[in-house]
Amino acid sequence: MPMQTDLNHRTSASVPTPSLGAYYQRIRSLSERIAAPLSAEDCSVQSMPDASPTKWHLAHTTWFFETFLLKQRSGYEAFDQRYESLFNSYYNSVGHAFPRDRRGQISRPSLDEVWMYRRHVDRLVLDWLEANELTEYQREVLVLGLNHEQQHQELMFTDIKHVLFSNPDLPAYQSSSDAADTAEATPMQWRTERETITDIGHDASRTAFAYDNEGPRHRELIHRHQIGSRCVTNGEYLEFIRDGGYQNPMLWLSLGWDAVNRNGWQAPLYWLSLEDRYDQFTLAGRIPLRLDDPVCHVSYFEADAFARWSGKRLPTEFEWEFAARDASPGNALADRLLASNHVIHPYQQAISDWLGNVWEWTSSQYQAYPGYAPAAGALGEYNGKFMCNQFVLRGGSCATSSDHIRVTYRNFFPPETRWQFSGIRLADH
């Protein structure tokens, strides 16, 4: 029987089925383009518990469409019963999920078999779309699944970057003649925002789709404050390092100081220390540190310590959303790959000062908006269950597709997380 549940995810009900089919093919093909430069061996490696192999991402996003769409059709038979557990992520209500930290042990099925799985599911979904038989609810599930795949496309970039960095040869994901190009950082400007009460959260008149945690739209008090016009740069963060920032316990939250000492942090992830300078590891390989690029791959603890060293603070997520209310996304890494099949350096300044550079840590803990309720059924496990011990990031990154970025988008990670494209914007009282 079809799953009966209120998705509580806003989607565009007016998208014609042929357009939805083209949308489906575009998103699904991008995952294949991201995986194209990789070997089967690359696609099987899990370099740490938080990262997943590329092969698993390709299979899991397919599992989502099979589980929440195809299996709701009468008479559908699973492609392979083993996949129900192997490629489930955290949907406990639909069955047992294989442990996240052991995904690199899934040597079988092979990458070729995963490609066969994707072709099988894609053919059935597209046939169903062509027949124009999807209900309104099923169309919403499909749109949710495509946005879900875009999230995993970003994770494919972040996870394979960590895999390649873990290789002693530091191989490039894809070389780029643009890796040496740099844009000079604009001078930091401080924008003063007066005290106001404003609407926060997803506005259906601006974007058709949003995750359930972006609503309900509600009112928040914004105190008078100042917020930086751009993100903190590598050069500015380097001053923090040279001033002994990682050795000064007065700058750090207690858990952050524990993390610094336990993990031996001395610089952002992917910075490589030389005698008199730093290099950085990028998807284009090892290059000299670009001082005017936004600092990237820092944890919440590092962002908070840098802010304290600067005599500033991190903005709340509501201050951030209010300041960015009129922003539009720039030319994201995934878009450039789709357009040219060529990956340029992933720190190129985006068109917007707010969207598409790095995910920006805020001081807001991840929690529900007033009136929030997760969807009924298995899809209710999508966001709400993670509202504990995590901080909100805003703005999207260079690895986020531009049509997946919006001002109200709430990303969230534990405060020690560093392998995401995460950076810093400062605020002041």
Per-residue HEC secondary structure of 175-197 comes to CCCCCCCCCCCCCCCEEEECCEE
Asked, for residue 290, whether it belongs to a domain, the answer is yes
**Domains in the chain: how many in total?**
2
Cα(22)–Cα(422) distance, integer angstroms: 31
Asked, for residue 30, whether it belongs to a domain, the answer is yes
Q: What is the DSSP letter of 369?
A: P
CA 155 from chain center: how many Å?
A: 6
- At 48, the pLDDT band (50, 70, 90 cuts) reads very high
Q: Which position has the higher pLDDT, 275 or 159? A: 159
Cα(148)–Cα(91) distance, integer angstroms: 14
229: which 2 tokens?
Answer: 């016009």
Asked, for residue 44, whether it belongs to a domain, the answer is yes
Asked, for residue 244, whether it belongs to a domain, the answer is yes
Last residue of a domain, one of 132, 165, 198: 165
Q: Which residues of 12-26 are buried (b: 16+ CB within 10 A; e: fewer)?
A: eeebeeeebbebbee
CATH code for position 295: 3.90.1580.10
Same domain, 150 and 222: no
Residue range(s) defining the domain that contains residue 199: 190-428
Helices marked H in 243-391: 254-263, 300-309, 317-323, 333-340
Q: Which position has the higher pLDDT, 205 or 147? A: 147
Same domain, 221 and 120: no
Residue type, 299: S
Same domain, 118 and 236: no
CATH code for position 131: 1.20.120
- Pairing status of strand 225-228 against strand 278-282: unpaired
181: which 2 tokens?
Answer: 């190009």
- At 341, the pLDDT band (50, 70, 90 cuts) reads very low
Asked, for residue 32, whether it belongs to a domain, the answer is yes
Residue type, 171: P
**Residue 337 has what pLDDT?**
52
Q: With a threshold of 0.85, does the pTM exceed it? A: yes
**Residue 65 has what pLDDT?**
97
Among 33-37, 180-184, 294-298, 322-326, the least confident range: 180-184
- At 350, the pLDDT band (50, 70, 90 cuts) reads very low
Cα(89)–Cα(96) distance, integer angstroms: 9
Among 82-86, 92-96, 358-362, 379-383, the least confident range: 379-383
Same domain, 41 and 135: yes
Helices marked H in 225-346: 234-242, 254-263, 300-309, 317-323, 333-340
Residues β-bridged to residue 197: 221
Asked, for residue 421, whether it belongs to a domain, the answer is yes
The model's pLDDT over 105-137, given as tens digits with 9 standing for 90+, comes to 999 999 999 999 999 999 999 999 999 999 999
Last residue of a domain, one of 101, 131, 165: 165
Asked, for residue 121, whether it belongs to a domain, the answer is yes
pLDDT at 206 > cutoff 70: yes
250: which 2 tokens?
Answer: 């007065």
Residue 413's φ and ψ, nearest 5 degrees, are: -150, 155
Residue 246's φ and ψ, nearest 5 degrees, are: -80, -5
Same domain, 297 and 158: no
The model's pLDDT over 228-260, given as tens digits with 9 standing for 90+, comes to 999 999 999 999 999 999 999 999 999 999 999
Asked, for residue 254, whether it belongs to a domain, the answer is yes
The model's pLDDT over 212-231, given as tens digits with 9 standing for 90+, comes to 999 999 999 999 999 999 99
Average pLDDT over residues 3-29: 64
Cα(147)–Cα(156) distance, integer angstroms: 14
Average pLDDT over residues 56-73: 96
**Residue 376 has what pLDDT?**
75
- Nearest Cα neighbor of 82 from 108, 104, 44, 103 is 108
Same domain, 406 and 266: yes
**How much of the chain exceeds pLDDT 70, in percent?**
88
Among 147-151, 170-174, 382-386, the least confident range: 382-386
Same domain, 357 and 393: yes
Last residue of a domain, one of 131, 165, 199: 165
Same domain, 204 and 240: yes
